[in-house]
Chains A and B, each alone.
Chain A
Amino acid sequence: MRDSTSPHNWVAGHIAALPKSGIRDFFELVNSMSDVISLGIGEPDFATPWHIREATIYALHRGFTHYTSNLGDLRLRKAIVNYAQDNFGLSYSPQNECIVTVGVSEGLDILMRAILNPGDEVLYHEPCYVSYSPTIRMAHAVPVPVQTREEHDFVLEIADLEAKVTPKTKALLLNYPNNPTGAGLTDADRQALADFVQRHDLLLISDEIYEELSYVPRSASIAALPGMRERTVVLNGMSKAFAMTGYRLAYALGPAAIIDAMMKIHQYSMLCAPALSQAAAVEALQHGSAARESMRVEYEQRRNVIVKRLNDMGLRCFLPRGAFYVFPCIQSSGLSSYEFALQLLQKKKVAVVPGTAFGPCGEGFVRCAYATAMDDIEIAMSRMQEFLAGK
């Protein structure tokens, strides 16, 4: 019989078993403080480009405020597949190979629920975005993290994957350009990973939310490599490239059978992505390339500045290939990642995220986001230098 005196018992076993993020307290502490110079924010500092906001207002005026197709407004799906063709060399049908989701977070969630049976295993790299392991567990499957290393610029190594793959492995989940490390894939990396998933008959899930924020010449998506289209789902969205995080608008591109399965979950849980956000996304995809590029150039230059400052002060880091994060090694301070971040916050009011937030192998590193105005980056770097000098 259920013990009705304990409220804890109402919670499903697999949710009760989900570990709370170890740095929740730290996040709450930072968010409760004022006048913090923050390098801890995982979203663009730029306002959403005005033409996109204006298009949102226009959509509101027109009364574009109702349900859309479950898959997303067809006009938006056409804009997405055209954009993916032009920018990523990908070719998908807007009719049945594209679904509009509420952020990549929802895309990832419904994809996991669509493909995983209880006990299936999913390979992914650590350090990684905080939702990967919980999302897999909420789909009653088994997260199998694979460590990446600083020596290899935090790119997955095939030998490490081979050591973790089992007959139960269903999929490999990738996020390059990477949050939190700024790592990116070379063409050789892409090919090796494609060979690996084909060799083991796995599904590839490619979270490409930072793809447009690349600082090296871009190649076609891994989904465009021979033999990959039928076993890859690409997740991307508007948040990072167009500074539209609050719009919560993203998409998935993949084989029709998988998109259809995702749609089943999406239609019952979400029905459709917000109509106004869909209208804004059409404007961004069709007319946003100039604004997107000017933001990308500014991020690239800030990256150059912050990487130099960190290395100059003895916090070793490589030059990120994409995203807006740098992941310096702080072991020379003699502090753990958590202690480093906590003391830097308390003594100098500068916020960074402990590397351990992104997996145990993030120990010894912190994540610094350069989606922050250059003046603030300069102040933060000076204060970090003082902090290291014990001042």
Chain B
Amino acid sequence: MTNQKKDILTLLRKNARMSVQEIADRLRTQPATVEEQIKELERDGLILGYTAVVSSEAEQDQVRAIIEVQVQPEREAGFDNIARTLAKFPEVTAVHLVSGRYDLRLEVVGKSLQDVATFVASRLACQNGVKSTATLFLLKKYKEAGIEFDKEEKYARLNITP
């Protein structure tokens, strides 16, 4: 990847809504060039999508949980088949293979506690290869995608100093 593409990625990962004009000005290049590079990043599958980071208030009608899943890896495929199967459920918003006490770390979203619990019991736990699950309901958000939810009070600088 070129340095310019890396720089564009860094900026978009901080603020996906940054205008093409601002990116171009920051990197001392032309908007058309930035436009083209972003298209390439999308086409090559390096940028897969854009999403918003929202406050707890904005997702009051949702319950989110982390599910720790222990699975039986398969010969040849390892964890890939089961991970891809679990990723297909629309309730599952993230799937990672992790090191440690369990294998797959899922993030699941539902309308209520009951909704998530039902999904885990009737969909996840009974999958072939799933040995056990542990459900961790998320209670309060403090930081997500690098953004702190309770911003510390901005210290007031003097308006003008030499």
Contacts and interface: CB of A to CB of B under 8 A. Distances in A.
B161 A40 contact: yes
B159 A36 contact: yes
A304 B25 contact: yes
B22 interface: yes
Interface string B134-162: 00000000000000000010010111111
B27 A38 contact: no
B115 to A, nearest CB: 37
A269 interface: no
Interface in B1-46: 22, 25-28
A273 to B, nearest CB: 21
A43 B162 CA distance: 9
Contact of B160 (A27, A302, A308, A358): A27
Contacts of A45: 157
Interface centre among B25, B155, B159, B161 (most CB of A within 10 A): B159
A151 B152 CA distance: 44
Contact of B28 (A40, A42, A179, A304): A304
A129 B160 contact: no
B25 A40 contact: no
Given A301-B27, A304-B27, A304-B28, A351 B160 contact: yes
Nearest to A131: B162
A31 interface: yes
A305 B159 CA distance: 22
A41 B157 contact: yes
A353 interface: yes
A353 B25 CA distance: 24
A308 B152 contact: no
A317 to B, nearest CB: 14
B28 A31 contact: no
Interface residues of A, number: 28
Given A45-B157, A47-B155, A304 B162 contact: no
A41 B160 CA distance: 5
Interface residues of B, number: 13
A38 B152 CA distance: 21
A374 B22 contact: yes
A30 B152 contact: no
Q: Which of B158, B159, B160, B161 has the most CB of A within 10 A?
A: B160
Interface string A107-132: 00000000000000000000001110
Contacts of B26: 301-302, 304-305
A47 B22 CA distance: 23
A235 interface: no
A351 B159 CA distance: 8
A301 B14 CA distance: 14
Contacts of A309: 25
Interface in A26-61: 26-27, 30-31, 33, 36, 38, 40-43, 45, 47
A357 interface: yes
A1 B158 CA distance: 44
Nearest to A48: B155
A43 B25 contact: no
A358 B162 CA distance: 9
Interface in A121-161: 129-131
A26 B161 CA distance: 11
A30 B28 contact: no
Contact of A41 (B22, B27, B155, B159): B159
Nearest to A21: B162
A357 B160 CA distance: 12
B23 to A, nearest CB: 9
Nearest to B154: A47
Interface in A361-380: 374
B160 A305 contact: no
B158 A31 contact: yes
A374 B157 CA distance: 16
Nearest to A45: B157
Contacts of B28: 304, 308
B25 A38 contact: no
Interface of A: 26-27, 30-31, 33, 36, 38, 40-43, 45, 47, 129-131, 179, 301-302, 304-305, 308-309, 351, 353, 357-358, 374
Interface of B: 22, 25-28, 152, 155, 157-162
15 contacts: A27-B160, A31-B159, A40-B160, A41-B161, A47-B152, A129-B162, A130-B162, A179-B162, A304-B25, A304-B26, A304-B27, A351-B160, A353-B160, A358-B162, A374-B22
Given A26-B160, A31-B159, A43-B157, 10 more contacts: A31-B160, A33-B159, A38-B160, A131-B162, A304-B26, A304-B28, A305-B26, A308-B25, A309-B25, A353-B162
